Structure 1
Amino acid sequence: MSVEDIEDLRLRFVFSYIQLITDVKYDKIKKFLDDSKQAEKLLDFFEQSDLTHLFVVLHPTGVFEIHTKFPEVFKFKAYYFIKKERGVIEKNTDWSTLNTLLSYGDMDKSPLHHFIAFVNTVLSPIILNEKNREDWPESLSEYIKRDLYNLQKKSAMVLARIEGKTHLAHPVGIEKIDTQEPISCHGDDVIGSLMYAIETAVVDWSAQINDILKQQSGQAIANGEFPLPNFEYEFWQQRMNCMQDIYQQLVHPKVKKMAVILEANRSAYANPFKEMFKRVVRAIVESETIVTFLTPLINYLNDLETVQFEELKPKIQPIVHLMALLWVNCEYYRSTDRIVILMTETCNLLIQLCRQYLDPTEIIKEEPDEGLIKINKSLDILRHFRDVVEDYRQNVKESCQEQNVEPAEWTFHSSWVFSRLNAFIERLEAIKASFWVYYHTLLDYSRLEKVEVHGVVGQTLTTRVSMVYDEYQEAYRKFTDTNMDCLSTEDTTFSTALSEFMKLFDHWDNRMSTIIVKAFLMSNTTLGAFKLPKILRSTSKEVHGKPPSSTAFHNMASEKCPFVHPTV
């Protein structure tokens, strides 16, 4: 089946046009027509006289959206059908009549494209039509034409920048350059002369190219961001594409004729034009060379994302080796600034992989043994990368000396590369230390749930123990439920929360010490006195390092049980 099988000529007209300029399959159209609500919405446009606009938005997946008012936002290309006059269009309306009653076309998803199309196809023909300017003073006519040109130029430049390109706007009157004698470009009106327009274009182009060449891949790091090695590769890939695009514009026949005119008229801008062209060529060679040498390293780094982090250690040495080869063999990358940027981005990648492995919001909830194993493996891998880089300093120097290339060695300070990595390692060390402290403490306080004190005041003391346990449980719940990134070196929430949580243990330890001493002193039997330190030995050792009231306990045991505790 095809669009020709649609019985309603109105619907066939709409979808024939859409299918004519797209590759949408008929099964997508049929699926839309089978949806009675959507099809009815489309038919309303034809059958209701007050509806004059129809917009059909086509998704890349082949899904249609129907609007009878201009969509506030549409992310994909749209097709419009507008009634030239209000009224109802009947079902049996023939094809030629539909073509007469409707205006139709397509719209790009970008408002800028709409604006440029309006300027070039509507505004420009009106202004440039001499009949519309018959009564205008010549000076006004020239300045308005120049303003129109500037509007077109700036619009094209903005669009090119959005698309990642650089547009070199041609000077006014370049369309006549093929008929212009190179030596007769000066006019009586300097502002309106082709020579002036060419020289102005050279200045503008040179400024555009200089702005591009001033851009550095390390700017993101300077701005406090944490780019990955792919960012470095994409930067040079974009630089290469941009310079190649500019080169193609500079070798255009009309631009070559501009250079001939500048040279023939001995313009002061002839040499700057040549230098600008040379800078573009050098930039192409530089970027192409860097992309070529970066590709093996980037491919290897991309493969790391498919490897389990705990298995990453054997992959570290090849990474640094590829960096060393890049330094030795690529003259354009043999710069301290650039190798520091690449290593910093590699550190960011390792940190990101480590964060994915540990899970910042879950690591503090891990079981002590499992958490410590993960932390230790992470520390081992990160330190290994740092150590391998330091080891390669000497290897790089020797390789450069063998090939007689300068500069021969990595002279950067370690902190330039490892500042964030070192901070991340310190955070892991802090978490590791906290595992030993608060997890062991948590084990002690978790035992309080089953503690029951007997004796004269046993019930009262048991209640007080339960209160401590309940407070501990609530504090631990709040601490672990806090939405924090404990692996972020930029976020102090974890450090603050851990510090406040640990302060509570001092308060609970003092209360438990009081309870333990009172329970010991109020013991009715020697057997009870013996059992108490054994039951609570973990907590008592945590607080004091030895059982509470050891002197009183020793004296009591000596008096009542000399065969157990002989007097010394």
Structure 2
Amino acid sequence: MAEATGTSSNSGGAGGVRAAQEPSLKAGGVLSDERVDFLREQAFCVLRVKTDKWNRFIGAEENQKIILDFLDHIWTNRLAFNAVESIPTVVASVKTSPPWKTKLLCVLKKGVKRIARQGFRHQLRLGEVPGYPMEHLPVVISEVLVCVLSNGLNHEDWPRVVSDDIHRHLEKLRSRVVTTRGRAEGRTLLPLPLCVERAQPRDIVLGSVQTLIVQWSGQIWNILKKDSGMMLHQGDHPGPSVELQFWATQKENLLGIQSQIQSPKAQHIMEILRRVKSSYYSSFKDICLKVNEAVLEAEDIDLYLRPLRRLISNLEERTFPQVDALLPPLFHTLCLIWSCSQYYCTPQRMVVLLQEFCNLIIEKAFAYLIPEELFKMELEEGVERVQIAISVLCTFKQLFHTHRQRIPEYYSHSQAIKLWDFPAALVFQRSDRIMERLLMIKELFATALDFLKLEKVELGGSRGKVLSEMVFSMSEEFHDRWRALRESKYDSLDYTDDDFVRHYRRFMEQNRDFDQRLGTVLNLAFQHSKNLKSTFKVRLSLRVPFNNSNSLFRDMLPCDSGKRC
């Protein structure tokens, strides 16, 4: 990658680089430029770029422009080359590029605005920046800067105050670099004081050690107080894989901290504190004991959570209707973890894990139902999908209550039994709200299946035509209302959005009005039936459309026609 960056000149804008209008570049002019040849030689040497790759790179007009802008214009003062998979690519920007993974070749202007075509080598400053510079920066500070500044010959004329102040700033800089590198790598690195490494006088050592102990304590406490349920408390909905990954990472992090505080240099620091009877000694010793306990806890939990990996993988890979069969072995494994793990058998941790499994099932249900398309699919398909989702959620909750009662069976006679005595509402708070929405949607679908069949109803008798037109009119009206519901933009399964609930209530109120109007039509149809045969014809004409649905009208019919029958 080649990148041209720099500060804007008076001719450039504040928002970026402004180039003068130029005719199209010619590859021949660039290839015959000795300055470009020099850059090519450096790229060959530093980045190990092959000739064909460079020719492909320099043949692009945009790449030629970036290089010539750096050489001939004042608005760029830095050029960076980076070989990505041995293919150099070029990016022009007024900002530093994102982190790179391979070696970087940097070319800087040395106090000039334009690079001359002759005798230009003394106008350029070349440098190599390794990939992942955060790994090298602490070494540069401790092995280069500290060595230079700690040599008394380099600052003989400096006041002692200035020398000490520079050392303190170096200490802070190195400490920040080490901790930042650890964060970037996802682990905790405890910086060692430079004065200990370089055996400086005792008063300087003690002050630096006590400062570092305070920093170490803060870093370690931040790890010890980490909670796997933090994302749940923040309102996110993580799955169980997050729980397993948390404890695997926590174990590795704590083992790393334990290794660092047990290293010879850290033990030397502890010995210094002990000898001077520092108040920091006992407090940090307590922290070290807590680290050892936390390591045992993380190792135990990580060990017993591992069997869940295959179950989670199966849950994620199976189709949603097949999830039912995987739930019994899941709860069996959870009960074994509860009864066998020394550290995971607490209500707080089991509630978090169960909530995360609920989230996984809910996410699979959403993917299966496709909430934004739920009301747009065929009614029969929508009813089937909603029913399957309700069945899976109910099965999960039923298995929870079943295994909750069977917890004592997982303990031997010599073990103290710990029950799942936490409220079920803590586990199913979200799934219960999703269930409420699913039941509403199921009711809407059932109602729609009934009313959308009104168009098939034909009533006979003396007033059959009029009554049939009334039924058809109601059918058309219901079609319009159902179409409005299908075209709605909100997510019907988002329980934080009340728009669907308001629409549902309004829809059901209108349905009750339809029930009354339809009941009136049916009464009129039966009243105008001349004999038993015509009465049964009316009943049959109404039975056919609602034969396979849970119709409200089937319960209505015998009451209205009982006297005639």
Is the TM value for this pair above 0.5?
Answer: yes
Paired with 2:380 and 2:264, the residues of 1 have a C-alpha distance of 72
Q: What is the CA-CA distance between 1:332 and the residue it aligns to?
A: 1.9
Q: What is the CA-CA distance between 1:435 and the residue it aligns to?
A: 1.1
Paired with 2:501 and 2:131, the residues of 1 have a C-alpha distance of 47
Q: Answer yes or no: is 1:283 the counterpart of 2:315.
A: no
Cα-to-partner distance string for 1:219-262 (whole Å, 9 max, x where unaligned): 22222221111111121122122222223322333222212223
Q: Answer yes or no: is 1:274 the counterpart of 2:296.
A: no
Paired with 2:222 and 2:393, the residues of 1 have a C-alpha distance of 38
Amino acid in the other structure paired with 1:81: V
Q: What is the CA-CA distance between 1:67 and the residue it aligns to?
A: 4.4
2:113 to 65, 80, 86: 86
Q: Answer yes or no: is 1:409 the counterpart of 2:419.
A: yes
Match of 2:429 in 1: 419
Q: CA RMSD in A?
A: 5.0
Amino acid in the other structure paired with 1:82: L
Paired residues, what number?
523
Paired with 1:508 and 1:387, the residues of 2 have a C-alpha distance of 37
1:499 to 505, 529, 537: 505
Match of 1:195 in 2: 206
Q: What is the CA-CA distance between 1:48 and the residue it aligns to?
A: 2.5
Paired with 2:342 and 2:98, the residues of 1 have a C-alpha distance of 47
2:190 to 156, 168, 175: 168
Q: The residue matched to 2:227 in structure 1 has which SS?
A: coil
Cα-to-partner distance string for 1:358-396 (whole Å, 9 max, x where unaligned): 111122223222222222222222222222232223443
Cα-to-partner distance string for 1:56-100 (whole Å, 9 max, x where unaligned): 47585666553455336646466532232333555xx7xxx6654
Mapping 1:290-309, distance limit 5 Å: 290-309=301-320
Mapping 1:472-511, distance limit 5 Å: 475-504=481-510
Q: Answer yes or no: is 1:208 the counterpart of 2:219.
A: yes
Kept in 2, the 8 Å contact 1:45–1:53? The answer is no
Kept in 2, the 8 Å contact 1:290–1:330? The answer is yes
Paired with 1:434 and 1:417, the residues of 2 have a C-alpha distance of 28
Normalising by structure 1, we get a TM-score of 0.74
Long gaps (5+) in structure 1: 1-5, 188-192, 522-529, 555-564
Q: What is the CA-CA distance between 1:544 and the residue it aligns to?
A: 12
Kept in 2, the 8 Å contact 1:53–1:69? The answer is no
Amino acid in the other structure paired with 1:83: K
Paired with 2:132 and 2:444, the residues of 1 have a C-alpha distance of 53
- When residues 249 and 542 of structure 1 are mapped into structure 2, their CA distance, relative to the original with a 3 A threshold, is same
- When residues 200 and 68 of structure 1 are mapped into structure 2, their CA distance, relative to the original with a 3 A threshold, is closer
- When residues 293 and 107 of structure 1 are mapped into structure 2, their CA distance, relative to the original with a 3 A threshold, is same
Q: What is the CA-CA distance between 1:356 and the residue it aligns to?
A: 0.9
Match of 2:57 in 1: 32
Q: What is the CA-CA distance between 1:164 and the residue it aligns to?
A: 2.1
Paired with 2:38 and 2:316, the residues of 1 have a C-alpha distance of 50
Q: What is the CA-CA distance between 1:301 and the residue it aligns to?
A: 0.4
Long gaps (5+) in structure 2: 1-30, 528-535
Tell which deviates more after alignment, 505-514 or 101-110. Answer: 505-514
Paired with 1:330 and 1:407, the residues of 2 have a C-alpha distance of 13
Paired with 1:316 and 1:135, the residues of 2 have a C-alpha distance of 77
Paired with 1:443 and 1:20, the residues of 2 have a C-alpha distance of 80
Paired with 2:352 and 2:524, the residues of 1 have a C-alpha distance of 64
Q: The residue matched to 2:380 in structure 1 has which SS?
A: helix
Q: What is the CA-CA distance between 1:324 and the residue it aligns to?
A: 1.9
Q: The residue matched to 1:206 in structure 2 has which SS?
A: helix
Kept in 1, the 8 Å contact 2:188–2:257? The answer is yes
Match of 1:562 in 2: none
Match of 2:386 in 1: 375
- When residues 114 and 256 of structure 1 are mapped into structure 2, their CA distance, relative to the original with a 3 A threshold, is closer
Q: The residue matched to 1:289 in structure 2 has which SS?
A: helix
Tell which deviates more after alignment, 371-380 or 15-24. Answer: 15-24
Amino acid in the other structure paired with 2:164: E
Amino acid in the other structure paired with 2:485: F
Q: Answer yes or no: is 1:310 the counterpart of 2:321.
A: yes
Tell which deviates more after alignment, 304-313 or 195-204. Answer: 195-204
Q: Answer yes or no: is 1:438 the counterpart of 2:448.
A: yes
**Structure of higher RCO (CA pairs closer than 8 Å, 6+ residues apart):** 2
